[in-house]
């Protein structure tokens, strides 16, 4: 995507509308314009080399985009991130970012420097982020529920903003709704004030839940093998993506990259072997569940004793998708009740079958994503 266009985010949005991938929505188009403003300010403030040194970047006010589930916030953030023409940018889920921060703090406290009485673990975590030259931090689904994060955010983002980082965030709630009714919330209020100062708060008041429309009235599971089942899955994929074929991509997880055969419009398409016959564990599946709102999985086989490890990973995968509320479309070689044919995983598989049954229901497909899922790995890669 070329940043030479006067309004690259809006142009990308209009292109998706013209191709029939999206239905034109004035609220989404206005939000794309707000993101273009951030991008223009970032490009205008890009540091210049003076006498062999880069001058300090002047701060750029970011954007905090909030609205109900399924209104297109993540899609708009993806368009913005793709339009940013420099590499000093990161885009991840808020949960993932805070997980990285807590891991960094824990590692610092175990170090020799971290045992010093004057040690500042927040400074230790922020320093390498700023040293990397990061200019834009895109955080999807900004939410605060626990007191540990609530008490950390003001100092953490105070240092990031002071270091010139611009925040672009999406959330289901406005800043004043963060950590609502939380313990010692009065201590969290300075962060809300900081967030309002450093970002423009914008509402996305779209009336349509587009995520729900993708699955309305659809049979999301297909059974059997062969060209007919493949054709059913191809049609489902194109419906979910609005006609986009998708491109290969990757998901970053614990310092490594998980290959994604196809991804488009917040959805990903995998073969069973891509997820369950490779050394992946719960943390990997949680990353995938936070990256995509919809998954298509092809060629799920009957899992007998020869596929015991794959069956265990499949159980963990479905747990992660279910806990997050990710929508699943899948093809199975056999009916659900015949799927688990290994008595060693029979007990765990009963829960999986129950969840798979629920995940094809209108009630499940009509609900939004859930905020939190467990992150502790139950199966080591």
For 150-177, the pLDDT digits (tens) are 999 999 999 999 999 999 999 999 999 9
Q: What is the mean pLDDT of residues 130-141?
A: 94
Q: How confident is the model at residue 261 (pLDDT cuts 50, 70, 90)?
A: very high
Who contacts 108 (Cβ-Cβ below 8 Å, separation ≥6)? Answer: 114, 119, 121, 124, 125
**Fold of the domain built from segment(s) 212-365:** Rossmann fold (3.40.50)
For 59-80, the pLDDT digits (tens) are 899 999 999 887 889 999 999 9
Q: How confident is the model at residue 377 (pLDDT cuts 50, 70, 90)?
A: very low
Burial readout 211-238 (b: 16 or more C-beta within 10 A, e: otherwise): bbebbeebebbbeeeeeebeebbeebbe
Average pLDDT, the chain: 88
Q: What is the mean pLDDT of residues 329-343?
A: 89
Is residue 317 within 8 Å of residue 275, measured between CB atoms?
yes
For 95-119, the pLDDT digits (tens) are 889 989 999 999 998 887 877 767 8
pLDDT of residue 369: 79
Whether the CA torsion 79, 126, 283, 179 is positive or negative: it is negative
**Dihedrals phi, psi of 305, to nearest 5 degrees:** -60, -25
pLDDT of residue 373: 41
For 11-43, the pLDDT digits (tens) are 999 999 998 888 889 999 999 999 999 999 999
pLDDT of residue 48: 63
pTM higher than 0.85 for the full model? no
Where do the CATH 3.40.50.300 domains begin and end in the chain?
Answer: 8-203
> What six digits make up the tokens of 65?
């985009």
Question: Which class would CATH give 8-203?
Answer: alpha beta
Checking if the pLDDT of 376 tops 50, the result is no
Q: How confident is the model at residue 49 (pLDDT cuts 50, 70, 90)?
A: low
């Amino acid at each position: 995507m070329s940043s030479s266009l006067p309004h690259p985010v809006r142009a990308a949005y209009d292109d998706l509308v013209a191709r029939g991938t999206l239905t034109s929505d004035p609220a989404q188009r206005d939000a794309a314009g707000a993101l273009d403003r951030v991008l223009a300010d970032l490009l205008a403030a890009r540091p210049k080399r003076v006498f062999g040194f880069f001058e300090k970047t002047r701060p750029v006010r970011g954007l905090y985009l909030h609205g109900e589930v399924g209104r297109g916030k993540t899609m708009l953030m993806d368009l913005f991130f793709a339009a940013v023409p420099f590499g000093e940018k990161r885009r991840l889920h808020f949960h993932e970012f805070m997980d990285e921060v807590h891991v960094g703090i824990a590692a610092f406290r175990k170090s020799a420097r971290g045992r010093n009485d004057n040690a500042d673990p927040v400074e230790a975590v922020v320093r390498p982020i700023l040293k990397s030259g990061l200019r834009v931090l895109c955080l999807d689904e900004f939410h605060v529920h626990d007191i540990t994060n609530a008490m950390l955010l003001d100092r953490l983002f105070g240092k990031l903003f002071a270091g010139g980082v611009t925040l672009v965030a999406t959330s289901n709630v406005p800043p004043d709704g963060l950590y609502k009714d939380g313990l010692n919330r009065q201590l969290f209020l300075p962060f809300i004030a900081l967030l309002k100062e450093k970002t423009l708060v914008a509402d996305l008041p779209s009336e349509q839940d587009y995520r729900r429309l993708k699955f309305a009235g659809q049979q999301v599971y297909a059974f059997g093998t062969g060209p007919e089942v493949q054709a059913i899955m191809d049609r489902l994929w194109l419906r979910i993506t609005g006609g986009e074929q998708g491109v290969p991509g990757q998901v970053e997880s614990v310092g490594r990259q998980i290959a994604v055969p196809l991804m488009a419009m917040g959805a990903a398409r995998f073969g069973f072997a891509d997820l369950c016959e490779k050394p992946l564990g719960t943390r990997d599946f949680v990353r995938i569940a936070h990256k995509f709102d919809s998954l298509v999985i092809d060629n799920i086989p009957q899992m007998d004793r020869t596929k015991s490890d794959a069956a265990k990973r499949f159980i963990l995968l479905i747990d992660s998708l279910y806990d997050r509320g990710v929508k699943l479309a899948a093809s199975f070689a056999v009916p659900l009740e015949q799927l688990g044919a290994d008595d060693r995983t029979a007990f765990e598989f009963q829960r999986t079958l129950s969840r798979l049954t629920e995940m094809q229901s209108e009630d499940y497909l009509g609900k939004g994503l859930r905020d939190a899922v467990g992150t502790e790995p139950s199966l080591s890669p």
